[in-house]
Chains A and B, each alone.
Chain A
């Protein structure tokens, strides 16, 4: 049986969770004070996901960079690579809020969108 540690982020208690698994099957979660903690540990073990936020280059804009955000969380292990890929994106201002900046990033099915309006200079 393998054990994995997590810190629960759902309330200020910040429970130290321990998840036991066998061949990928969750056996038990300990250290949690409520059900939310147990569910959180399972998610973090099975399919941890994170939102991606970074900037991309925007030419001819009032600012040189445009903040972007993924339209949904993507697998945690792909975040660094996603940010690296977005580092090569160059847009032309103006850009509208919500405009898709990168479609289906790293085959996750998740788009990356502009998180603000950026006027041309």
Chain B
């Protein structure tokens, strides 16, 4: 244990959020930025997302996950950002004190002036959705299966049942198929797919993989290794209908049933969390409830697009730099109110609207021909027409202070989705 290092900012996690935050903090004027990553390389989850579909907003081109990551990795490696790989953060205190560990340096104590949380998210497991049955080998989350196949080079199974139709589950249906496995079907408890239509078409339709909507898994068979999974249709309360239960022989059950922001360190630091997003409550600078601690990307709430993760990280990096160089914002925060057909909104707070602010939100229910609006002090700061809005697809609005409705001092902000003719 050497004397504690005192960098201007420590970024925890070097996935797309951490990479973007470290770069923008450095570019916004912080001289000493440290980036801590537990894996042996930079990039977070992106190196295993070998499919394309990343970057259309940030780069205006379609990239694979590794390509998207490579652009940021190259920039970080060219910079003087202090990169600590294979390093695990063990403790984070409200006063920013960090204890981390790696093989080379042992226990590392750091006392940074600001912290940016960029730990991403983890997958929900079978127990969080309570699938009854045995506990054999061959029950795996989609992201872990993706790592097995794309990074390690092993097959988690050969005859596959996929539960949940989130994008990772759909992508993995195609990936398993291309690796020579047989995908028996995708079972989704809701009456609509959880992932993007593009993925339903290109990952399932292209390979004749059936999707069974309003279905769930009711029992995992096999004492040592998965032998079959029972599935059943669900009723309106999402409860399985016993008479429809049937047993599907398979050797692996892949779960794509949701992601949970990874906030164990945030909790240690006393950061207030939003029960709806599962992540820290943040303001327009991505500043959390603990002074000097910022957060960005999936740790704040699960994004659908990496491009928006990057954008949120740039706000956080710049925010941390401003905090270190100019101090905390002292305006009392006002709440961004989720209005009609909006249940999830990030950031949750605004203190000062002095530059463009991105607001991310999700609708409660599917609706056709609507307008998504942001009202600042009662005036429309954003108004956008949409043919269709669906809960799985995150919406995004940018509000500007230059807008006549905007301004530095803000009294009230509301996000709502209203019928198109309103």
Contacts and interface: CB of A to CB of B under 8 A. Distances in A.
Nearest to A117: B70
Given A12-B390, A53-B64, A117-B70, A67 B50 contact: yes
A93 B416 CA distance: 52
Contact of B388 (A6, A11, A64): A11
B51 interface: yes
Given A64-B153, A69-B52, A69-B64, A9 B70 contact: no
Given A11-B388, A54-B178, A83-B178, A97 B70 contact: yes
B390 A116 contact: no
B150 A55 contact: yes
B40 interface: yes
A109 B328 CA distance: 57
A14 interface: yes
Given A7-B197, A7-B201, A80-B178, A115 B50 contact: yes
Which bucket holds chain A's interface residue count?
Answer: 20 to 34
B206 interface: yes
Given A13-B388, A80-B178, A97-B70, A115 B205 contact: no
A8 B205 CA distance: 12
Given A14-B197, A80-B178, A62 B50 contact: no
Interface string A74-116: 0010011001000000000000010000000000000000011
A27 interface: no
Contacts of B387: 11-13, 33
A76 B65 CA distance: 21
Contact of B198 (A9, A55, A68, A116): A9
A115 B151 contact: no
Interface string B47-77: 1001110000000001111110110010000
B152 interface: yes
B70 A53 contact: no
Interface in B190-240: 196-198, 200-202, 205-206
Interface in A1-36: 6-9, 11-14, 33
A120 interface: no
Nearest to A86: B178
Contacts of B198: 9
Interface size class of B (residues with CB under 8 A): 35 or more
A21 B296 CA distance: 50
B197 A12 contact: yes
Contacts of A76: 206
B47 A116 contact: yes
Contacts of B201: 6-7, 9
B41 interface: yes
A11 B197 CA distance: 8
Contacts of B69: 116
A50 interface: yes
B389 interface: yes
A10 to B, nearest CB: 8
Interface in B32-48: 40-41, 47
B82 interface: no
Contact of A51 (B52, B196, B200): B52
Contacts of B206: 50, 76, 79
A39 to B, nearest CB: 15
A116 B70 CA distance: 6
Nearest to B171: A53
Contacts of B152: 64
B47 A67 contact: yes
A65 B197 contact: no
B52 A7 contact: no
Contacts of A14: 197, 388
28 contacts: A7-B201, A9-B197, A9-B202, A12-B387, A12-B389, A50-B202, A50-B206, A51-B52, A53-B50, A53-B51, A53-B52, A53-B64, A55-B50, A55-B149, A65-B150, A65-B153, A67-B47, A68-B50, A69-B50, A69-B52, A79-B206, A80-B178, A83-B178, A97-B70, A116-B66, A116-B67, A117-B70, A117-B73
Given A53-B51, A67-B64, 7 more contacts: A9-B196, A12-B197, A12-B390, A50-B206, A65-B153, A67-B65, A69-B64
Q: Which 8 A-B residue pairs are closest in the complex by CB-CB distance?
A: A116-B66, A67-B50, A9-B198, A14-B197, A12-B388, A115-B66, A115-B64, A13-B388
